[in-house]
Amino acid sequence: MALYSEKVMDHFRNPRNVGKLDDADGIGEVGNAKCGDIMKIYLKIENDVIADVKFNTFGCGSAIASSSMATELIKGKPISEALELTNKAVAEALDGLPAHKLHCSVLAEEAIRAAIKDYYDKNGIAYDKAMFPDPHDEEEHGFEEE
């Protein structure tokens, strides 16, 4: 069996929505410290709807395919729906990812959420902080208290 589904290969070879939005309303950048991959998502928001979305991903093929699929899944959707997009839904839409590549789809989920949070912050829109847990809070930072 092939390692990657045809959909993964298609979105990797012909990624949708690649690029940058100069007039983005929200920008989210996330990275994975272990593999070093970085994903940046730009959102144009009109009337609480994702009117346009672009991404730039410096990373592996699965991260590119995940960003491409995730942008397709949220384009034209209300913010509330984009916030509900899970990495699982992205991986399923790609007809699956190998287990050791699931974290690539997590980056897509995190980048979208970070971009929406950025939009809320820039526009002074109130939100429940619990909606945006810092994914790194649970990690060991290695700081020592004196």
Nearer to ligand FES, 60 or 112 (CB): 60
> What is the number of alpha carbons within 13 Å of residue 96 lying toward its C-beta?
7
From 35, 83, 89, 102, active-site residue: 35
104 is known as an active-site residue: yes
**Per-residue DSSP letter, 18:** B
To ligand FES, the closest distance from the beta carbon of 80 in angstroms equals 27
Catalytic residue check, 35: yes
27-86 positions binding ligand FES, by CB under 6 A: 32, 35, 37, 59-60, 62-63
CA distances from 85 to 49, 81, 111 (A): 14, 7, 11
> Helices marked H in the chain — which ranges?
6-13, 61-74, 79-84, 87-93, 102-122
Summarize as ranges the residues that interact with ligand FES (CB under 6 A): 32, 35, 37, 59-60, 62-63, 101, 103-104, 107
